[in-house]
Amino acid sequence: MVMGILSVLLAIVLPIPRMVRTAALKKRAKIEATALAQAAIRYKAEYGFWPGEVVCLAQGQPARYHPDRAGDQIIGVIVSGPREFTQNIKASGNTSLDILRLNTNEVYRAFSRVGYPQGVGYDINPLNPKAIPFLELKDETDIEIVNYPDPWGLPYRLVMGLNPKSRFEFTDTININGQSFVYVVSVSNVTAFAFSEGLPGGLGTNRIYSAGVGLNE
């Protein structure tokens, strides 16, 4: 009987540390996603364009519009993240607006305080000439791999350039037990927002969004 009681107690107690750790990671992800969205907004206010919208592709090259942006075309929204996320964003309604799709490194290059190495030191990053510490970046001294992963080591998704009075919608398809489900995520009240996919294996159902998002899934 004593062993039975101990078994029940262990079954209750053992998952608690894992649950506490998961809750702590989710809280951290929300804080970091919020910091990312706010950094993008501060960058736009400081320099007049969104991070990644203007690029410096190699040492010594002047900053210019991203090569995927054709001249002065009107950018409807800028999305950053893994290819499977950015390529699934589709424009609807006003077809004169375009979508600029970036990988995560392109955004963090803009935030970095240092540029390409020159001799024993580093050049000032022409995309952040004031060397403003927008985020606590990982591998900031290597412009090729500078990053800002979520608590599970995965990239954040970032959407920029929204009209806060409008609503941004994107459609996702997730697979659960061999069945596909399509759902629409509607975001409002922000000019930029970020999110983490959450615990790996969550299949898009455990997303953690930056603060201030008006969300309807």
Which secondary-structure segment (H or E) carries 77? strand 75-80
Residue-wise burial string across 145-183, b where 16 or more C-beta atoms lie within 10 A, e elsewhere: ebbbebbeebbbbbbbbbeeeeebebebeeeeeeeeeee
Asked if residues 43 and 110 have their Cβ atoms less than 8 Å apart, the reply is yes
Does this model's pTM top 0.85? My answer is no
pLDDT attached to residue 109: 92
Query: Directed axis angle between helix 15-47 and helix 104-111, to 10°?
Result: 60
**Lowest-pLDDT range of 3-12, 106-115, 170-179, 181-190:** 3-12
Return the residue matching tokens 């963090």. Answer: 108
The confidence band for 146, taking pLDDT boundaries of 50, 70 and 90, is: very high
Closest CA to 147 of 106, 115, 117: 106
Average pLDDT over residues 9-26: 70
Looking at the predicted structure, is the pLDDT value of residue 167 above 90? no
Q: What is the mean pLDDT of residues 161-185?
A: 72
Contact (Cβ atoms closer than 8 angstroms) between residue 46 and residue 130: yes
Backbone angles phi, psi at 102, to 5 degrees: -120, 155
Angle between helix axes 15-47 and 2-13 (nearest 10 degrees) is 0
Mean pLDDT of 188-211: 80
Q: Say which residues have a Cβ less than 8 Å from residue 201's Cβ, sequence separation at least 6.
A: none
pLDDT in tens, 24-53: 999 999 999 999 999 999 999 999 999 998
Reported confidence tier of residue 99, pLDDT bands at 50, 70, 90: confident
